[in-house]
Amino acid sequence: MAEIAIKTERRTQFVDVTARVARLVKDAGIRSGICHLYVSHTTAGVMINEHDDPDVACDIEMAFDRLAPRDAGYRHAEGNADSHIKAALAGTAAAIFIADGQLDWGRWQGIFFCEFDGPRERRLQVKIVSDE
């Protein structure tokens, strides 16, 4: 298993980690398998979506803010209930098939680490499993 260290700079921030994950897959040297991604934080997530146009990530961030506004009278005492809700919506895990030694996905897809309670130092766990 490998980890990618991520330092976020804003409370809500989508960090494109596509190239870092692709490098781990290449370095693993397997031709066929699966790449598992996992976030072990309750106020962060991982998402696969379009990464060619950065406006898409901005639009998704804004949509999350509309779905779970920061100040909505939540009962959670720490003041970050919206962050927990957003992480639940994004999800904490993703999986991508590996074919011919690389991530096998759509042309525009990329991987985002989703920060909802930053700025913080975080980690994304990556497990690459061969099926050969």
Q: What is the pTM of this model?
A: 0.94
Token readout for 82 is 């919206």
Look up the CATH number of the domain holding residue 52. Answer: 2.60.120.460
How confident is the model over 11-28, as a mean pLDDT? 97
**Locate tokens 């930053």: which residue?**
118
Percent residues over pLDDT 90 in the chain: 91
Compute the 3-state secondary structure of the chain and give helix, strand, coil in percent, each to the nearest 5: 25, 40, 35
Q: Residue 67 corresponds to which amino acid? A: L
Q: What is the pLDDT of residue 126?
A: 98
Please give the mean pLDDT across all residues of the chain.
96
Q: What is the DSSP string of 19-79?
A: HHHHHHHHHHT-SSEEEEEEE--TTEEEEEEE-SSHHHHHHHHHHHHHHS-S-S----TTS
123 three-state secondary structure: strand
Strands 13-16 and 121-130: unpaired
**40 vs 17: CA distance, rounded Å:** 16
Strands 121-130 and 2-7: antiparallel
Domain of 83 in residue numbering reads as 2-130
Q: Does residue 132 surpass a pLDDT of 90?
A: no
Contact 98, 30 (CB under 8 A): yes
8 three-state secondary structure: coil
> Total domain count for the chain?
1
Q: Does residue 26 surpass a pLDDT of 90?
A: yes
Q: Grade residue 77 by pLDDT with cuts at 50, 70 and 90.
A: confident
